[in-house]
Chains A and B, each alone.
Chain A
Amino acid sequence: MMNRIKRVTGISLFTLIAGGASAAGTGVQAEPDWTLPVHDDEVFGQVLFDRLEYQRDGNDEIALWDAQAWLGKDRKRLWIETEGETDLSTESGEIENFDVQYSYRLDAFWDIQTGLGAQSTFGPSPNEERYSAIIGLQGLAPYWFEVDTNLRVTDDGDVSYDLEAEYDWLLTQRLVLQGRGETLVAFSDVEEWGVGTGINNIGLGLRLRYQFSREFAPYIGVSYTRYLGNTKDLREREGEDIESSSFVAGVRWWF
């Protein structure tokens, strides 16, 4: 698998670089075997654990991850996002999404992203998985809101839309209070996934992090989720919480 990824990346990089070289604006005197004067079309990459955290709501303890990684150039990137959680007592959990997307810089502040996503549960009880096609936008909205929003169509034809936004208040140069909001809207009931038509939930969070460095910032905070509408009814029927307030502690880390 890894090899295949490498090969694919290698081939696409070669194409991109070769394409760049022929279009290089070196002057009329430049010989073809000369180096380029600047190298502005290089490949970069980053892995970011936006939230790697422990949540506690009463006696429920959850470990949660929310990470992304990208590889590519300024305009075109391979973008992987994953988010999920596991209940520390039952050791069951869910990979809410594992998305592999092609990301294209559409505008100064926005990427359009499209690709495939997987969702699955894990743990002792019977596990399920489903796949979806995704199209979404990720970027920086006016007033400095980091926004990530996707429209998903699953292999069963169920359609949903999710939206996440984050905002950083700098209390000092290193102490940052991050506000976070997220919601999910489904266009059909999918009972086995606990999804009802309409707005499923609203999640809000406040996290106070200290940036020991740009890369490494531990945090504490609170998180609140409320389920709504059909989803709420569904959860009530199953005997699940329709609301949760958690204390959270974790780390934001990238490399």
Chain B
Amino acid sequence: MSQKDVGRGFSRRRLIQGTAAMGLLVGFDSIMPAFARGRLDNSNVYHTVRDGADIYDMTIARTPLTIGSRVSSQPITINGTLPAPLVRLKQGREAIMRVTNRMDEPTSIHWHGVLLPFQMDGVPGVSFPGIKPGETFEYRFPVKQHGTYWYHSHSGFQEQLGHYGPIIIDPVEPEPVAYDREYVVVLSDWTFDAPGDVFRNLKVAEGYYNYNQRTVGDFFKDVENMGWGAAWSKADMWGKMRMSPRDILDVTGSEYTYLMNGSPSATNWTGLFRPGEKIRLRFINASAMTFFDVRIPGLPMTVISADGQPVRPVETDEFRIGVAETYDVIVEPTDIAHTVFAQSQDRSGFVRGTLASRQGLEAPVPPMYPRTERGMAAMGMGAMDMKGGMKMGSGMDTAHGQMKMNGHGAKMTKMDAPSDKVSLSAVPTAGLPISHGPDNHGPGAAMVASKPQSRLDDPGVGFETVDHRVLTYAQLQSIDGWPDKRPAERDVELHLTGNMERYMWSFDGKKFSEVDGPVKFYHGERLRLILVNDSMMDHPIHLHGMWMELETGAGEYRPRKHTISLKPGERVSALITVDAPGDWAFHCHLLYHMEAGMFRVVSVV
């Protein structure tokens, strides 16, 4: 503990010197929050402690800023910075957040991943009316947990414009993790266009931002690689479905400037260290729409927590971070400088920063991985061998086999699901038959997964050429398990649906405006949430107010998350202890998917 303090104190002095010089040169001192300059402590003007409560004063305003080399009047800042400043809280204390709206539109702050009374959750229309222009809203909640979280606007498209910042909650009991220094790494996507225009482009012109669509040349490449027959049957399958295997991110690097702690690649966000130190990096994906693949070439990373919750340390070389997820990793630099490289999932752009032993150092920036396309698994029809030229619907995969073994009709009740004896089977939902309702979710769903798979041990699309370790959900294990050992009493199943033609996104084919009531959870119950991705996109699904214990096959050591990313054609399940009365938002954390209707209210009654 004391060693850590010394290390931090030392680095702070050096950093202040370093950044003062940098500020003079580049002049972005005022843009960068203190945490991006390495100051992660709580000694700032907007934080005070009184009567055992951490009090923050936060002012939300529009502030013209230079991003890269362009000036924009769009940024929404908190206390003047983008990202918003670090909120550092202490487990066991109370948090009082006084948020003042200096904009001419209503706003809000949602404390993402923090368990609190629902009135403090900050979702306009669900937990409170929002914060009107000129108004100050006081959030007040006891801080029960610890870890890395973040906060952001839950109003309209404000989150796209910089209204997001990191939260660190320090534990009461020291964590069993040693490190000398820590940095927060906030990844985000920035647009110089009005987010409303971006949304409109998505609504009226499918694939507007996708400049990696399949061309005639790609077909002939397939012919070269797999022969006429297989190339044709591949084109046939996708063509029949009217789906594109290249539809990976809706908004791409053609529109976005990717940021690391508010800095684009050219500005090169730098985290300083002393040789020999262990560094804790707290990665937060605060993007509106971008899944990032993160690596530090040449440096293994030990993942110690996911979504703020400690996990058994697992060493990896790269991880994919879904929108709204967080990962804490420990790294031990071996060189004087290392590039922190975050490329967008579709390889349309990247942002890099540097861990350096002194200011101004850079390490080589690796090329992005080759662009790729989704495989058959994305169709949710099971693992199919394309070369074998199988037809749609012919199932030789394991799920189908198990389905036969179960010997049930399609009406197999969900209560029959094997409950908590997880260590035997991979995941409890494996092989269960699937139903999409009488109309296959209607016009809101352009496809359904006829045989959704568990893809928890699959790092996802885009790592085909990679020969190092990539983190998967299957590798995440909690340290001691979670207090509620009950098996699930009830299943709630929701399907992730979409229709790109109209950019309609929904659950069970129904947009938020089309449902006539909330999803009901019952206070005190233990339930299993089953999610099926009936779409061709990855979706980070976020439940407010309660943890989701992701059933990875790790038995009671399942990790718990606030945001679960589902790959196309995937089915996952999570156990939830319903202990938080009130109304909670439940939604896809891709901002434009949410605004297009992929949103529900969960009422705990």
Q: Give chain A's interface residues, CB within 8 Å of chain B.
A: 20, 23-31, 33-41, 44-46, 74-75, 105-109, 140, 142-144, 169-174, 214, 254
Contacts and interface: CB of A to CB of B under 8 A. Distances in A.
Contact of B239 (A143, A170, A174): A143
Contacts of B208: 214
A38 to B, nearest CB: 5
A28 B504 contact: no
Given A108-B443, A108-B446, A173 B212 contact: yes
Contacts of A37: 123-126, 154, 512, 585, 599, 601
B214 A74 contact: no
A186 to B, nearest CB: 31
Contacts of A35: 106, 124-125, 129-130
Interface string B193-237: 000000011011100100111111100000000000000000000
Contact of B599 (A34, A38, A144, A254): A38
Nearest to B218: A170
Interface in B115-153: 118, 123-130
A20 B216 CA distance: 43
Interface in B233-252: 239-242
Interface in B571-605: 582-585, 587, 594-597, 599-603, 605
Interface of B: 106, 118, 123-130, 154, 156, 200-201, 203-205, 208, 211-217, 239-242, 442-447, 499, 501-502, 504, 511-518, 582-585, 587, 594-597, 599-603, 605
Chain A interface helix/strand/loop/mixed: loop
Nearest to A77: B502
Contacts of A142: 239-242
B213 A31 contact: no
Contacts of A170: 213-216
Nearest to A175: B215
Contacts of B118: 29
A28 B603 contact: yes
B516 A25 contact: yes
A144 B583 contact: no
Given A27-B126, A44-B204, A74-B504, A38 B106 contact: no
A74 B502 contact: yes
A143 B236 CA distance: 7
B515 A31 contact: no
Contact of A172 (B156, B215, B515, B517): B215
Contacts of A44: 200, 203-204
A105 B216 CA distance: 30
Given A74-B502, A74-B504, A172-B215, A33 B129 contact: yes
Contact of B501 (A27, A46, A140, A173): A140
Contacts of B241: 142
A144 B216 contact: no
A27 B517 CA distance: 7
Nearest to B240: A142
Contact of A108 (B239, B499, B517, B582): B499
Nearest to B441: A108
A173 B515 contact: no
Contacts of B214: 170
A39 B595 contact: yes
A169 to B, nearest CB: 5
A105 B603 CA distance: 31
B582 A27 contact: yes
A25 to B, nearest CB: 4
